[in-house]
A and B are shown apart, each in its own frame.
Chain A
Amino acid sequence: MTASPSASSSLRRAADPDRAGAAVIAVADLHRTFTTGRRRNRRTIEAVRGVTFTVEPGERLAFIGPNGAGKSTSIKMLTGLLRPSAGSARVLGLDPWHQRRALSRRIGTVFGQRSLLWAELSARRSLTTLGAIHGLDRSPVGRRIAELGELLEADDLLDQPVRTLSLGQRMRCELAAALLHRPDLLFLDEPTIGLDLLAKQRFRDVLVRLNASHGTTVFLTSHDVADIEHVAARAVIVNHGTVIHDSPVAALRRNLLTTKRIEVGLARPSTVARARAALGSDIGPVNPLGVAGPDDDGTTPVDGIAIDVDTRHQAIGVVLDRVLQRLAVADVSVTDPPLEAVIGEIYARPATGTDPSPGSAP
C-alpha cells in the first residue's frame, strides 16, 4: 500500500493509542467477519480485514472502493451499528459500539438511499422532532432550521411534506437533519446517488463550504468520482476488506499515473499509418483522434491523432519533441487519463497487489 507522508504518519498515529487521542477517527487493525449458512454450508466471510487509518479534525476524506470492498461494513462499525470482530476504533474519542448514543449526538449521517426524516411530516416538523430527540430546546432549533434553510437554499421546501419532495430536495433536507445538532463529524454514504448534475454540484459545494466555515470533518463514500474530486482532499481506497491506498486526492494521479496522452491536431489531414512511420516504432500506441469506428489498417485520413505514452518507459518530453519535429502540427495537448480510470486501475488490482512506490514514475 502506498501512502503519502501525511497518510503514513496518520497510520502510525492510529497504531499508537496515545497519539490517536487528537484524531477524529482512529482505526487500528479493524476486522469484521460474517458467518453465513448452517452446519456443512457454514462459511466465514472476512468483510474487513485489518483496516487502519486516522482522520484528523477538519479533513475531507473520501473512503472509496468497489462494491463489496468493505466500505459499508467499515462505516457501520465507525457509527456503532456493527460490532468489530477484532481491532479498535475510536470516533471523536468514543468507542462507537459501546457509546453509540453518546456518539450520535456528535456525528451527522446522510445515507443516499435511506431517509432519516418522517415522510408524512413537513421537513420543518421532521427537523423540530429530530431536535427534540436530540434534546434540543425548541426556539434554538427554530433558529438553527432557519440558518440551515438559508445555507442549503431549502427555505421554500421546509413546509412541504417530505414525501412530496423530489430526491434532490429531500437530500438537502436530509443534510439539514444531519447538521441540525452541529456535529463535529459528518458521515455521508453515497449522498449524491440519483441526483441530477445541478443538485450534485450544489450538494458538493455545501459540503466544501461547511468544511471551510465550521471545520466539520467530512467522511464520504461515493462511487461518483466527481464527488471525490470536488469534495475530498484525501482518498482512502479499500478493496478486499483492506486499505490499498491512502493519499491526498491530488497525489492520486501524480503518483499512480503511468500513462499520459498526447493529442495532436494535424495541420493537414494524414493517416495514422503515416504518423506511426514518422514517429518511429518505439513510440506508444497511436490512434486516430475524433474518428468514429475502427481504423484497423490506419489508412483512413484523419485530422488528429492521440498517442498514449507509458511514462515508465519513455519520457513525455522525448515523445513531444519527436511529434513537433516530425509531424505538421496545428495543435497539441498533453492530458492525464480521467481520475475515474486511475481509480478503476487501482480497484482492478488483485487482493495481494500493492501500489507502485510514489517515486517510481519517471
Chain B
Amino acid sequence: MTAATMTTGGGTGSVRDLGAACLRVAQAAAGAARSQPAALVHGGIHYLIVAVAITSLWNRAASGNGGTIVGYQAGALVWYLVATEVTAIAPPLRLIDRFGADVAAGRFELELLRPAPALWIRVAAEIGTSLPRTAVCAGLGCGLALGVGGAPASPAAAALAVPALLLGVALTIVAQHLLAAASFWLRDSRASWFLYQKLQFTLGGLVLPLEVLPGDLGQVARLTPFAAMSYAPGRLASGHLEAWWLLIQVAWLAALGLVTARVFAAGERHLGDGGEP
C-alpha cells in the first residue's frame, strides 16, 4: 500500500477533507470525554449548583414582583437561566489559559507540522469535548426547569433552543480562540480569559436577561456575539419563537471564524518570523 492509495483527495487540502478531518477529531474528542464519566458527573454537579442557585434567586425576585420580571414569567425565566448557563459551563474551561501555555511551551508549534489548519483541528477537538458535557448539562437543566418552572411555554421555541445551544457552545469556543490568539504576541494572556468571562457574563445575559440592563445597553448587547452565544438559546428556551436568532448565530459563527482564522494566520507568521510571545 503506498501513500498515494491511502490518500483521499490529496490530503486535507480541500474544505471537504478538512471537514471530514474535523469531524473525526470531534468524534475522537467526544469519545474521550464520554470515557471519563467522573468528569461528566463533576461538570453536571457544578452546573446544577449554579443553575439551582440562580433560578432560586430569580424565582424569589419574580414572586416579589407579581410573578413577572422584565416581561418574563417566573417559569419562562427558569427556562431562560438553565439554557444560558449551559453555554457557560459546558465548553471546556480555561481554554485561553491552556492555549497560551501550549504556545509558550512550543506544543502549538508542532501542530503546524500537520497538513490541516491547527486552528480548526483545535476548535473541532474542543467542540467534541464539549458535546457530552452539553448533553449532560442540558438534560439536567431540562429536568430542573420542568420541576421548578413547569413545561416550556412554547415547545416549538424550546425545540429551536437545542440547535441554538449547540451553536452557542461553538461560538463560545471560536470566540475564546480569538482572544487566545493574543498568546502569539503576549507572554501572559491570562487577562484575556477574565475579560472574556466578564463580557459573556454581562453582554451575554448569563445571570440576568439583557432586558434587565439599563438604557440602551441591552440593545447594544444584543448586537454583540455574546448575545448570540448565551442570550439566544435562553430567549428561545423561555418560549420566544424567534427563529432568526439561529441565523444571527450562524452569521456570528462565520464572521468570528473568519476573523479568528486571519488572526491565527498572522500569529503563525509571527512565530515563523521568530517573534516571541
Q: Which segment of A115-123, A308-316, A327-335 sits at the interface?
A: A115-123
**A114 and B24 alpha carbons, distance in the complex (Å):** 23
Residues from chain B with a CB closer than 8 A to the CB of A128 are: 24, 28
Q: Is the pair B273, A140 in contact by a Cβ cutoff of 8 Å?
A: no
Q: Is the pair A109, B113 in contact by a Cβ cutoff of 8 Å?
A: yes
Q: Is the pair B7, A136 in contact by a Cβ cutoff of 8 Å?
A: yes
Q: Is the pair A136, B272 in contact by a Cβ cutoff of 8 Å?
A: no
Q: Is the pair A132, B24 in contact by a Cβ cutoff of 8 Å?
A: yes
Distance in Å from the Cβ of A134 to the closest Cβ of chain B?
A: 6
Question: Which residues of A, 101-123, contact B by the 8 Å Cβ criterion?
Answer: 101-102, 104-105, 107, 109, 111, 114-116, 118, 120-121
Distance in Å from the Cβ of A197 to the closest Cβ of chain B?
A: 27
User: Which residue of A83, A102, A126 contacts B273 across the interface (Cβ within 8 Å)?
Assistant: A83
Distance in Å from the Cβ of B186 to the closest Cβ of chain A?
A: 15
Question: Given known contacts A79-B113, A83-B272, A109-B113, is B6 in contact with A141 (CB within 8 Å)?
Answer: yes
**Proximity bits, A77-119, B CB within 8 Å = 1, else 0:** 0011111000000000000010011101101010100111010
Is A182 an interface residue when CB atoms closer than 8 A count as contact?
yes
Is A130 an interface residue when CB atoms closer than 8 A count as contact?
yes
Is A317 an interface residue when CB atoms closer than 8 A count as contact?
no
User: Which residue of A34, A111, A141 contacts B274 across the interface (Cβ within 8 Å)?
Assistant: A34
Q: Is the pair B272, A134 in contact by a Cβ cutoff of 8 Å?
A: no
**Proximity bits, B159-184, A CB within 8 Å = 1, else 0:** 00000000000000000000000000
Who on chain A is nearest to B12 by CB? A135
User: Which residue of B28, B110, B114 contacts A118 across the interface (Cβ within 8 Å)?
Assistant: B28
Distance in Å from the Cβ of B230 to the closest Cβ of chain A?
A: 27
Q: Is the pair A82, B272 in contact by a Cβ cutoff of 8 Å?
A: yes
Residues from chain B with a CB closer than 8 A to the CB of A104 are: 113-115
Inter-chain contact total with CB atoms closer than 8 Å: 110
Question: Which residues of B, 4-29, contact A by the 8 Å Cβ criterion?
Answer: 5-13, 17, 20-21, 24-25, 28-29
Question: Given known contacts A97-B272, A144-B1, is B17 in contact with A135 (CB within 8 Å)?
Answer: yes
Distance in Å from the Cβ of A101 to the closest Cβ of chain B?
A: 5
Q: Is the pair A135, B107 in contact by a Cβ cutoff of 8 Å?
A: no
Residues from chain B with a CB closer than 8 A to the CB of A126 are: 28
Is A143 an interface residue when CB atoms closer than 8 A count as contact?
yes
**A300 and B228 alpha carbons, distance in the complex (Å):** 88
Is A60 an interface residue when CB atoms closer than 8 A count as contact?
no
Is A276 an interface residue when CB atoms closer than 8 A count as contact?
no
Q: Is the pair A111, B8 in contact by a Cβ cutoff of 8 Å?
A: no
Residues from chain A with a CB closer than 8 A to the CB of B113 are: 79-81, 100, 104, 107, 109, 116
Who on chain A is nearest to B125 by CB? A118
Q: Is the pair B105, A114 in contact by a Cβ cutoff of 8 Å?
A: yes
Q: Is the pair A133, B32 in contact by a Cβ cutoff of 8 Å?
A: no
User: Which residue of A120, A134, A137 contacts B12 across the interface (Cβ within 8 Å)?
Assistant: A134
Is B271 an interface residue when CB atoms closer than 8 A count as contact?
yes
Is A245 an interface residue when CB atoms closer than 8 A count as contact?
no
Q: Is the pair B10, A135 in contact by a Cβ cutoff of 8 Å?
A: yes
**Proximity bits, B247-277, A CB within 8 Å = 1, else 0:** 0000000000000000000000001111010
Distance in Å from the Cβ of B22 to the closest Cβ of chain A?
A: 9
The interface on chain B, measured as residues whose beta carbon lies within 8 A of the other chain's beta carbons, has a size of 39
**A114 and B111 alpha carbons, distance in the complex (Å):** 11
**A67 and B1 alpha carbons, distance in the complex (Å):** 41
**A54 and B107 alpha carbons, distance in the complex (Å):** 28
User: Which residue of A32, A79, A82, A135 contacts B21 across the interface (Cβ within 8 Å)?
Assistant: A135
User: Which residue of B25, B36, B105 contacts A133 across the interface (Cβ within 8 Å)?
Assistant: B25
Who on chain A is nearest to B10 by CB? A135
Distance in Å from the Cβ of A179 to the closest Cβ of chain B?
A: 11
Is A129 an interface residue when CB atoms closer than 8 A count as contact?
yes
Q: Is the pair B32, A118 in contact by a Cβ cutoff of 8 Å?
A: yes
Is A260 an interface residue when CB atoms closer than 8 A count as contact?
no
Q: Is the pair A132, B21 in contact by a Cβ cutoff of 8 Å?
A: yes
Who on chain B is nearest to A35 by CB? B274
User: Which residue of A105, A125, A134 contacts B28 across the interface (Cβ within 8 Å)?
Assistant: A125
Distance in Å from the Cβ of B272 to the closest Cβ of chain A?
A: 5
Known: A36-B276, A135-B17. 19 other contacts (CB 8 A): A80-B112, A80-B272, A97-B272, A101-B13, A105-B3, A105-B7, A109-B113, A114-B110, A118-B125, A121-B29, A125-B28, A125-B32, A128-B28, A135-B7, A135-B115, A136-B8, A144-B1, A144-B6, A182-B3
Could you list 22 A-B pairs, sorted by A, with CB under 8 Å?
Answer: A36-B276, A81-B271, A83-B272, A83-B273, A83-B274, A97-B272, A101-B116, A109-B110, A114-B106, A114-B110, A116-B110, A121-B31, A129-B24, A132-B20, A132-B25, A133-B21, A133-B24, A135-B13, A135-B21, A136-B6, A137-B8, A182-B2
Binding site for A on B (CB under 8 A): 1-3, 5-13, 17, 20-21, 24-25, 28-29, 31-32, 36, 105-107, 109-110, 112-116, 121, 125, 271-274, 276
